[in-house]
Structure 1
Amino acid sequence: METDPVRRRVLAIAEAANPDWVSVPLVGWSLAQALREVSDVHLVTQVRNRDPILRAGLVEGRDFTAIDSEALARPMWKLAEALRMGEGKGWTMVQAINALSYPWFERLVWRRFGDAIRGGEYDIVHRITPLSPTIASPLAARCAKAGVPFVLGPLNGGVPWPPGFEAEMLAEREWLSRLRSAYRLLPGRDATLRDAAAILVGSRHTESEIPARYRGKTVYLPENGIDPARFNRVAAPSGMLRAGFVGRMVPYKGPDMLLQAAAPLIREGGLHLDLIGDGPMLPWLKTQAQTLEIRQGVTFHGWQEHGAVQDILCRCHLLAFPSIREFGGGVVLEAMALGVVPLVVDYAGPGELVTQGTGLKVPCGNRQQIVEAFGQRLRALADDPSALPALARAARQRVQDHFLWSRKAGQVARVHDWVRSGGDGPAPTVF
């Protein structure tokens, strides 16, 4: 295939890249696809993603390659599922197991593409996923030896549990998170950072974990983005203050804190809550709403498909999201893209996505402090909602300016150009 000489030839490694899934696989897929607008990209992913990618219209062999690492990946995944002690729980345990099994995937990638990389068929090798900074990349050293820049990231994860939420940590089976910092001592971690030409970091916390000697090649770039074809509406709320919550009904997301914070205002008829999502807490939350005597002012929508989520959120003035441990906070961006003002805890992902004038934040205190702060914010907005339209417009504009996948492709392309030039001068500021 002939290539425009100014276009970069990128081998995009995304073990998790799936257009039908959410979270990390959707990030891997979306970024790799967005990069096709500015570069010639060949995606390398795990075989489990093959069928959805084929349905999306890509041609195997030309546009992507599916690596079959199931001989090790499948039993290791089953082990992780057994050790996490509950569906959706024990994420640190899952990442620990993945840190052991993932290098086999990269070994198979090198078997398939090593000659092409050494032969200069690619200008850049970019590992997009895994996002976890705990997982080493043996490819970094191989690419460095071959003289081909290796870009890592965006990396994100491992935000510490805030003080006062030990019960929530244990409910999520996250006891291993107390030992997470030990990953810095794992073989291959320092070599990966040393041999990477650039390191994209998705959060300031992750940036703080990069050793000082490698900070000069780190670039801050939040990993989540917005597809305007999926989030293409503009909220038009009316009437009394209405707030939505979107997420799994689990302790660290804080839906119970939201109910408690909103209860006085709901009882007075000044607020309606729309809770979207399913999870183990849902039956208990319905009981809590009855106990607080606010059932008439809360709609539990359960799980909803994407289009229905937009329909519900577009009737809301606010996304009320008191989660205390979000790495990325994709739902916050999605609300902002619709012009729904985010009200979040100023911690980790949401705290970085929401800036002055584009949303509202409360300090990350203990449980009671968050409940009180959310309650005060909600009451103030019910009494005087005049600030909401300007916040909504600014939130939407922030997404348009920085978080569309097309914007992120351009941001990553600047990093690619920097490493292709030999990394001369300071790393680019792209965000």
Structure 2
Amino acid sequence: MSVAGPHSDSLPQVFRAFADKLSEQSRAGNGPHSNVAKSPDKTLRPLLIAEAANPEWTSVPLVGWNLAHAIMQKTDALLVTQVRNRDALLRAGLVEGRDFVAIDNERVARAFYRLSERLRGGENKGWTVVTAFSSFSYYSFEREVWKLLGKRLMAGEFDLVHRITPLSPTSQSPIARKLKKYGIPFVLGPLNGGVPWPKGFSDVRSREREWLSAIRKLHFLMPYYRTTRSEAAALIAGSGHTLSELPTSCAERAFLIPENAADPDRFPFQLRELSGNRLAVAFIGRLVPYKGADILIEAVAAYRGRLNIEVLIVGDGPQRKELEETVRRKGLRDSVKFAGWVEQRDLASTLAGYQVLALPSVREFGGGVVLEAMSMGLVPVVANYGGPPELIDDHSGIAVDFHDRETLITGFTKAFEYLESNPGLVALLSDATSRRVRERYSWHAKAAQMFEIYNWILYGGPKPIF
């Protein structure tokens, strides 16, 4: 197990100093909780392309909406999205024509979606197949974007174009070359995905029907792959892996900004403490093999310490019956409960009595649920692979090293033992996680980062460092 912070033998001195620093920041009013942000610039007119942007959905559409909406609050932006999102945007209070325009490429998008459903291997499986076919349909979306808005772009109505979604780095932007021709800066990202399957989990990969991931690098040959990157004024990578996949020629124009963020108002902070012998652990996610809910259950079954570990599994999916049978077989029915699907608006109240978020996912790209839990003060314990460990620092979570299923189970068991040995650590980490989200990972903060990139492109100066 690798702890994202000091080892237990140096814990008291280091965390005492850390707590003092947090206290000083709070007294001075200039710590992360102060939420200082740059003023909006309503004279800036970006065109935001977010094919998937929907406040009523989850995953990528919610990321697209949250980031676009945050940018729209700071600028005079126009959002262009797919027609399937129109009704949700109207219900959110946006005015069509003034705030957003909807592109109807449903005939093409529906055909590729149906084909991907036939090839993916079952519900909630083969997500690489779905992503690949949606990338092909995206070409038709941008073609319609140019038909609708090309003249307004050429007339200089917009200062720049920012393509937010698709997040996938396998999706290219055919309009990048046209924008460069007319001197319109093009911003791409956040891009995220494509993290290789970790060794030792070939069985999980097979169960997830991820056969296409073996030939994923063929996306380098897709039309407009090179021009999308060579003509972009800025490229935003949502993870270290995606950043490493960008051509070296993009280095001076590349930024690393995680794709996800959290809304502190929706996920308010509550200090979590370990004051007795109860450790309440939450798992949030789809119940599919790679998410690792079964690994968490096995880790709790293997724990032999003095804490009474209670687990709440939030989410649903095809693996639920299998997980329920494992709980019964391990004699954990009093310790492990299943909440089913919980709406985002109800998540904070559902987790009010919990102290830890456990995410043993073996191939997680972003980890938005980690930031939402951190905003509420839950301490994240995550598998040390992919996007989630990049969201925590030395004082805001625990990252569990592993190389196969058994070592991941053992690592989570040891993480619980570590918290048992250092009960004061939960409160310290809880406070720090929330501060970290408010400083760096709120949608408000993320929009401010995008604003800095826009200014750098349009007006020059030193490259922003986040």
- Whether TM-score is above 0.5 comes out as yes
Tell me the residue number matched to 2:316.
278
Residue 453 of structure 2 is aligned with which of 409, 412, 415? 415
User: Could you give the per-residue CA deviations for residues 27-66 of structure 1, whole angstroms, max 9, x where no partner exists?
Assistant: 1111111012221110000000000000111100011000
User: Identity of counterpart residues, as a percentage?
Assistant: 47
Aligned 1:30-69 pairs, distance under 5 A: 30-69=66-105
Aligned 1:11-410 pairs, distance under 5 A: 11-236=47-272, 239=276, 240-265=278-303, 270-410=308-448
Aligned mates of 1:286, 1:6 — CA distance in 2:
53
Structure 1 residue 171 displacement after superposition: 1.0
Structure 1 residue 377 displacement after superposition: 1.1
Unmatched 5+ stretches in structure 2: 1-39
Aligned mates of 2:307, 2:328 — CA distance in 1:
16
Aligned mates of 1:138, 1:340 — CA distance in 2:
42
Aligned mates of 1:73, 1:6 — CA distance in 2:
34
Aligned length: 425
Structure 1 residue 292 displacement after superposition: 1.2
Local SS of the residue matching 2:94: coil
Aligned mates of 2:218, 2:129 — CA distance in 1:
13
Name the CA shift for 1:11/1:385 in 2 (closer, same or farther; >3 Å): same
Local SS of the residue matching 1:128: strand
Structure 1 residue 327 displacement after superposition: 0.6
Return the letter of the residue paired with 1:325.
Answer: R
Contact 1:241 1:272 survives alignment (8 Å): yes
| Runs ≥4 residues deviating over 6 A | none
Contact 1:42 1:64 survives alignment (8 Å): yes
Stretch of structure 1 that moved more, 383-392 or 60-69: 383-392
Q: TM-score w.r.t. structure 1 length?
A: 0.95
Structure 1 residue 269 displacement after superposition: 5.8
Name the CA shift for 1:5/1:22 in 2 (closer, same or farther; >3 Å): closer
Contact 1:266 1:294 survives alignment (8 Å): no
Structure 1 residue 70 displacement after superposition: 0.9
Structure 1 residue 301 displacement after superposition: 1.2
Aligned mates of 2:340, 2:164 — CA distance in 1:
32
Tell me the residue number matched to 2:17.
none
User: Could you give the per-residue CA deviations for residues 276-318 of structure 1, whole angstroms, max 9, x where no partner exists?
Assistant: 1111111111111111112111111111222432223221111
Contact 1:235 1:316 survives alignment (8 Å): no
Structure 1 residue 5 displacement after superposition: 7.9
Tell me the residue number matched to 1:8.
44
Contact 1:314 1:340 survives alignment (8 Å): no
Contact 2:264 2:442 survives alignment (8 Å): yes
Unmatched 5+ stretches in structure 1: none
Aligned mates of 2:402, 2:304 — CA distance in 1:
24
Contact 2:42 2:74 survives alignment (8 Å): no
Stretch of structure 1 that moved more, 84-93 or 109-118: 84-93
- CA-atom RMSD in angstroms: 1.6
Aligned mates of 2:352, 2:423 — CA distance in 1:
16
